[in-house]
Amino acid sequence: VAILSKGQVVEFNCTREIFHRPDHPYTRALIAAIPRLPRELSARSMENASAEPVCWQANGPEFPTLTAS
């Protein structure tokens, strides 16, 4: 995931790292602005989630590779 602010990449990392350990203040502000579901609705939606998360790793400036995480 690339986080852009004013047309510049301010952070680039796999999805898990962006959401669990954001480095840039703009990234933290974006995550803080995500609407949250009530806990009971969130748990119900996770029961149907079966896909494994994936993590994009940089493989040069133009060609990312997809890796299971």
The 10s digit of each residue's pLDDT in 15-47 is 999 999 999 999 999 999 988 877 766 665 556
- Side-chain half-sphere of 6: how many Cα atoms within 13 Å? 1
Backbone torsion region of residue 25, taken as left when φ is above 0, otherwise alpha when ψ lies between -120 and 50, otherwise beta: alpha
Contact 24, 10 (CB under 8 A): yes
pTM of model > 0.75: no
What are the pLDDT digits (tens) for 51-65?
A: 555 555 555 545 455
What the block records as the tokens of 4 is 């852009």
Q: How far apart are the first and last CA of the chain?
A: 14
Longest Cα pair distance anywhere in the chain, in angstroms?
42
Q: Is the pLDDT of residue 67 over 80?
A: no
